[in-house]
Amino acid sequence: MADNRKMQYRRIGRSGLQVSVLSFGSWVTFDTQMKDETAMECMQAAKDAGCNFFDNAEAYAGGESEAIMGRVVKELGWKRQEYVMTSKFFWGIVGRMRNMQNKLNRKYLIHAVDGSLERMGLDFLDVIYCHRADPHTPIEETVWAMSDIIDRGKALYWGTSEWTADEIRAAWEIAERHHLHKPIVEQPQYNLLSRGRVEQEYARLYDDIGLGTTIWSPLASGLLTGKYRDGVPPDSRGALEGYGWLAERLTNKDEIARVERLRPIADELGCSMAQLSIAWCAANPHVSTVITGASRASQVVENFDAIEVLPLLTPEVLQRIDAALA
């Protein structure tokens, strides 16, 4: 069972905020695959393993994901000082209302953060993200709005998710020029099959502006677990209604063949393929935290045991992993 004494903690970029290198997120699972009781079991299992970073977004399950997480934290009686709570804004949840969907303008962002705080029952969020870039709103307006939200005490830090390196740099430079709160973090997809953005596109930002990353999909939506080699299990996210696009990728024979070349390495290390993949993400020093997901507490425990695999990823093992996927 995962041991919280083994958890490692890293600062997000150059900020002083320390987060567990493995964390827990609610995308897809909350409301879709689990309700309050199972969510409570999963979140407590994560916390028992040393997790202090919990990821959410306004758009997840149309706001219900935030509501579930808020109710769980209240029911468990966690002290606010014990955890880092986040949310992300862009897609909107109030339907096709002008200024309230696919936007990062000031009006939307103020409404969005207030809605998240109400659903989660919190006075402030630790980190808020611009969930995507908005080509129709000047970046300067977005930067001012995010900085103002922090000044009003509704959030402590802000960042971006799936922005280009140029967009992130532009936002940082605007904040620098006007003495505003700078973005400290980006939340990109990163895993053994999706590496370019984190390893190449953002490469100069780590030293230039001190960018941190809280990466999502370390298991490529489950593909890297190896459980899809015989088809889509009925209890997996690939079997969910409306996720046919995901099932198509998860059953791609060429991708499965690539992933299966990792199995001998995992077997030699005495770990699951999921643990190998999660630990590999954490081995990147530019990754502040690896956001994991699960639909039951036993999955949380297995995922967080990846912290014990991390020391086994020597340069030689990392080279073997690269060669297997080449």
3-state secondary structure (DSSP) of residue 255: helix
User: Which one is catalytic: 60, 83, 108, 190?
Assistant: 60
C-alpha distances (whole Å) from 97 to each of 24, 88, 119, 184, 226 are: 32, 19, 20, 30, 42
| Contact indicator for 113, 154 with CB cutoff of 8 Å | yes
Beta bridge partners of 130: 89, 160
Report the candidate in 242, 226, 233, 205 with the shortest Cα–Cα distance to residue 302.
Answer: 226
Query: Is the separation of the CB atoms in 256 and 220 below 8 Å?
Result: no
Nearest residue to 40 (alpha-carbon basis) of 79, 78, 69, 20: 69
Which residues in 162-296 belong to E strands, given as ranges?
185-186, 212-215, 289-292
CB 193 within 8 A of CB 258: yes
Secondary structure (DSSP) of 121-179: T-S-EEEEEESS--TTS-HHHHHHHHHHHHHTTSEEEEEESS--HHHHHHHHHHHHHHT
Would you call 60 a catalytic residue per the annotation? yes
Q: Which residues are catalytic?
A: 60
